[in-house]
């Protein structure tokens, strides 16, 4: 039976509702359920799953709906959802909450930063109001127009404020992780990053190598496009230049637009501090021409930043932490257990920049990969829900996240996909990332274990073996407990490498052996 239950003027944030939707799907008899605010997006999702009714036409984004298709009584679903929502509300701190920024400022007139994560349609207005009140802004929301982004960032530059975002997932200000960020040591390395999980990987590795971070400033992924002109990366560089606690600067981004790269590197030159630049997959020459150190991977960026911070001579990070003889033995051992028919890799990622880095590295070993985020458009998957040969998927891509939480919060879509592909006899290697830190799922490994075991078991039943390689992005101080996550993976037979770059290289080595085997 299909039914839509409406609760007028009842507002919950999107992550709460996505979590409740996920839990409501487990109620006995429920075939499909969507719990959401009546935004255009959620109405569209209800339409897609055949649960839209005419009464939803008049609902506003302030109205909650529960659209359900169940074999049982819809009233049971309604009661269960209400229980779940009540529990969520009780779990949230009971401190008094003002309804507007103005009232919040009356309670805390000395506030200096607004962390904004409202739906995209309202985000620019809230950010503007915050900056009018001289607050620095971290804008986590996405779906903000590039026109609004340019206006907001120009306003920020005029007022000397930070305007991190839109779509900025990571920042660490004065040692405090904001949104998705790791618990890192403090120190003298300052980072400006346009890539969320790229910044998390670099800052976590710096901390694990014994270095420390002064400030970590996010810009949002579009900052280095021509339209925005690197406004916030330059603002961030200027801030780090004037910061006596920052001795080394690291920049992380996909390659900037041609007309922006010079502006950014000139600002870095003016900063007058040693710097490492990782324009992921970009040409290192222009970085060297400006006198800075280019990084070959996120790990390499962290490694070189720590060397600079210690006043040591710069050299490349080793390809592997393990001695090369042991790595060759490991790769050979994994490959020899496979059947000749096993010849494909599936790289399933929750972190966008980590996925991009893995594709760049794997390409050196096995050529282009099919992907929803391919390096070459001719390798774009027509259907991102189905793999094709060697495939890399970024599950944080918009096509997967409409109406659901990011896979770093809710990894179930990746788990389901991996379970489904356990039937694929050609699968040889699975490459996975696990991103820890504040904001992320509290047990990302636990969420994947059933699928990991299933892939291993199905391959075993066919007389073969699937090699599962993973890396964990985080620090031992993160709330999930890094050692605990790594141990769970190892107990399930997963090879855990120290960094994403090393995991991708090992996966590449194993695949290379499989290719060589076929040639013989």
Partner 1 sequence: MNRLNELFDSKLKVINIGLHGFADDLKSLDVDVIDVDWRPPAGGSKRMADLLKKLK
Nearest 5 degrees, angle CA 210-CA 214-CA 216? Answer: 105
Nearest distance, CB of residue 505 and partner 1, angstroms: 33
Question: Which residue, 214 or 342, has its beta carbon nearer to partner 1?
Answer: 214
Please tell me whether the peptide bond between 99 and the residue prior to it is cis, using omega within 30 degrees of 0: no
In sequence order, the β-bridge partners of residue 193 are: 218, 252
In 3-state terms, what secondary structure has residue 128? helix
Question: Which residue, 141 or 371, has its beta carbon nearer to partner 1?
Answer: 141
Nearest distance, CB of residue 488 and partner 1, angstroms: 23
- How many Cβ atoms are within 10 Å of 327's Cβ, its own excluded? 18
Q: Is-contact 246 215, C-beta < 8 A? A: yes
Question: Which residue, 97 or 490, has its beta carbon nearer to partner 1?
Answer: 97
* Structure tokens that stand for 95 in this block: 């401190």
DSSP class of residue 90?
H
DSSP class of residue 214?
E
Nearest distance, CB of residue 162 and partner 1, angstroms: 6
Q: Is-contact 510 429, C-beta < 8 A? A: yes
Nearest distance, CB of residue 155 and partner 1, angstroms: 13
Angstrom CA distances, 127 to 14, 114, 131, 258, stand at 19, 8, 6, 29
Nearest distance, CB of residue 24 and partner 1, angstroms: 19
Q: Is-contact 373 358, C-beta < 8 A? A: no
Question: Which residue, 58 or 461, has its beta carbon nearer to partner 1?
Answer: 58
Using CB under 8 A as the criterion, which residues of the chain lie in contact with partner 1 when the complex forms? 9, 11, 13-16, 38, 60-63, 92-93, 95, 97-101, 103-105, 107-108, 110-119, 121-122, 125-126, 130, 134-136, 140-141, 159-162, 173-174, 176-179, 214-215, 235, 238-239, 242-243, 245, 438-439
Question: Which residue, 109 or 258, has its beta carbon nearer to partner 1?
Answer: 109
Nearest distance, CB of residue 17 and partner 1, angstroms: 11
Sign of CA dihedral 379, 382, 383, 388: negative
Nearest distance, CB of residue 405 and partner 1, angstroms: 10
Question: Which residue, 61 or 493, has its beta carbon nearer to partner 1?
Answer: 61
Scanning 29-94, the segments in alpha helix (DSSP H) are 40-48, 74-91
Question: Which residue, 214 or 467, has its beta carbon nearer to partner 1?
Answer: 214
Q: For 149, how many CA atoms within 13 A lie in the half-sphere containing its CB?
A: 29
Nearest 5 degrees, angle CA 341-CA 345-CA 350? Answer: 150
* Structure tokens that stand for 450 in this block: 């059933």
Nearest distance, CB of residue 500 and partner 1, angstroms: 24
Angstrom CA distances, 125 to 153, 154, 190, 319, 340, stand at 13, 15, 30, 46, 58
Nearest distance, CB of residue 160 and partner 1, angstroms: 4
Question: Which residue, 116 or 501, has its beta carbon nearer to partner 1?
Answer: 116
DSSP class of residue 438?
B
Question: Which residue, 243 or 443, has its beta carbon nearer to partner 1?
Answer: 243
Residue pointed to by tokens 């990622």: 349
Nearest distance, CB of residue 63 and partner 1, angstroms: 7
- How far, in Å, CA of 520 to CA of 150, rounded? 56
Rounded-to-10 torsion of CA 25, 26, 31, 36: -10
Question: Which residue, 91 or 519, has its beta carbon nearer to partner 1?
Answer: 91
- How far, in Å, CA of 210 to CA of 208, rounded? 5
């Amino acid at each position: 039976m299909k039914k839509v239950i409406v609760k007028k003027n009842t507002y919950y944030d999107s992550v709460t509702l996505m979590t409740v939707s996920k839990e409501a799907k487990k109620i006995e008899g429920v075939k499909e359920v969507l719990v959401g605010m009546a935004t255009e997006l959620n109405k569209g999702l209800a339409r897609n799953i055949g649960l839209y009714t005419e009464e939803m036409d008049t609902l506003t984004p302030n109205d909650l709906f529960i659209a359900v298709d169940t074999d049982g009584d819809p009233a049971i679903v309604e009661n269960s959802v209400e229980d779940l929502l009540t529990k969520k509300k009780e779990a949230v701190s009971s401190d008094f909450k003002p309804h507007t920024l103005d009232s919040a400022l009356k309670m805390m007139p000395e506030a200096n930063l607004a962390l904004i994560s409202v739906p995209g349609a309202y985000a620019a207005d809230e950010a503007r109001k915050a900056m009018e009140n001289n607050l620095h802004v971290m804008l986590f929301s996405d779906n903000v127009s590039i026109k609004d982004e340019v206006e907001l960032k120009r306003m920020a530059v005029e007022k000397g404020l930070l305007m991190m975002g839109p779509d900025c997932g990571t920042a660490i200000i004065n040692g405090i992780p904001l949104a998705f960020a790791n618990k890192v040591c403090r120190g003298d390395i300052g980072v400006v990053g346009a890539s969320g999980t790229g910044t998390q990987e670099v800052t976590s590795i710096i901390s694990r190598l014994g270095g420390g971070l002064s400030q970590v400033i996010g810009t949002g992924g579009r900052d280095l496009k021509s339209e925005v002109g690197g406004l916030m990366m330059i603002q961030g560089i200027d801030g780090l230049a004037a910061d006596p606690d920052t001795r080394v600067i690291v920049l992380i981004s996909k390659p900037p637009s041609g007309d922006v790269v010079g502006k950014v590197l000139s600002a870095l030159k003016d900063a007058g501090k040693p710097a490492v630049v990782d324009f992921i997959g970009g040409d290192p020459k222009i970085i060297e021409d400006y006198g800075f150190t280019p990084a070959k991977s996120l790990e390499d960026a962290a490694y070189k930043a720590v060397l600079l911070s210690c006043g040591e001579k710069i050299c490349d990070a080793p390809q592997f932490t393990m001695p090369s003889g042991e790595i060759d033995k490991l790769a050979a051992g994994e490959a020899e257990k496979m059947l000749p028919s096993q010849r494909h890799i599936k790289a399933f990622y929750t972190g966008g920049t980590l996925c991009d880095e893995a594709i760049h590295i794997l390409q050196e070993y096995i050529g282009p990969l099919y992907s929803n985020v391919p390096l070459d458009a001719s390798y774009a998957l027509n259907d991102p829900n189905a793999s094709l040969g060697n495939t890399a998927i970024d599950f944080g891509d918009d096509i997967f996240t409409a109406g659901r939480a990011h896979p770093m919060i809710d990894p179930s879509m990746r788990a389901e996909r991996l379970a489904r592909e356990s039937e694929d006899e050609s699968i040889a290697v699975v490459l996975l990332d696990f991103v820890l830190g504040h904001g992320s799922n509290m047990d990302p490994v636990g969420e994947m274990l059933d699928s990991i075991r299933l892939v291993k078991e199905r391959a075993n039943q066919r007389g073969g073996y699937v090699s599962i390689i993973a890396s964990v992005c985080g620090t031992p101080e993160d709330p999930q407990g890094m050692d605990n996550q790594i141990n769970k993976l190892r107990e399930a037979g997963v090879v855990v490498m120290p960094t994403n770059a090393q995991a991708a290289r090992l996966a590449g080595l194993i695949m290379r052996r499989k290719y060589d085997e076929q040639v013989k």
